[in-house]
Structure 1
Amino acid sequence: MASPSRLEVLSLFRSLLRTSQKFTDYNIREYTRRRTIDAFLQNKSISDPASVSAAFSDGKSQLEVAKRQAIVYSVYAPDVKSIMEIK
């Protein structure tokens, strides 16, 4: 399996961040955003092509899970906004 390019990794990162913004609940949205950034920072130093491919495929599977969860959370959106969202 070929190692993903830098552009593919950045595209995955942006997709995960975009998907995190689709959550209606503030806490879930911020947790997903934070978890995405932390995971990419943690895997930043990986240089072995097999490990990079494994981390990339894991990220793609996490993206699919996040997309499905965003849809489910949008169906059951809370009626009241979080105190963090009220301006």
Structure 2
Amino acid sequence: MSGGRREILALYKALLRESKKFSSYNYREYAVRRVRDGFRAAKNLTSEVEQEKELQIAKVSLEIIKRQVLLGQLYKSPTLVIE
């Protein structure tokens, strides 16, 4: 894999860390679940091209999550009872 195990692990941790910053419980739980499921599904990829494609998708997703977290902090919603 061209990304290397350390880079992939660092990307996974960064995605989880950013996902946990969502102020809304529903968004937070959804994002964390999607990150875990995505990496679990990509774990079994054997093709170098497919692995690189998934790595690029994860990098783009990290940037999207960062932007969404920032927007969520600007426009906070009321706290749910579950939180």
Relative to the length of structure 2, the TM-score reads: 0.95
Amino acid at match of 1:14: K
1: CA distance, partners of 2:39 / 2:59: 12
Offset, 1:30 = 0.5
Which blocks of at least 5 consecutive residues in structure 1 are unaligned?
Answer: none
5 Å matches for 1:50-61?
50-61=49-60
Task: State the shift of 1:82 in Å.
Answer: 1.2
1:42 is matched with 41
Equivalent residues, number: 83
What is the TM-score of this pair, normalised by structure 1?
0.91
TM-aligned CA deviation for residue 14 of structure 1: 0.2
Which residue of 2 is the match for residue 82 of structure 1?
80
Pairwise CA distance, 1:50: 1.1
1:23-77 per-residue CA deviation (whole Å, 9 max, x = no partner) reads 1000000000000001001111002111111100010000000000000011011
Contact 1:3 1:50 in 2 (8 A): no
Spell out the pairing of 1:1-87 with structure 2 (5 A cutoff): 3-78=2-77, 80-85=78-83
**Equivalents in 1 of 2:81, 2:37: separation in Å?**
25
1:84 Cα shift? 1.3
Superposed structure 1 runs of 4+ greater than 6 Å apart? none
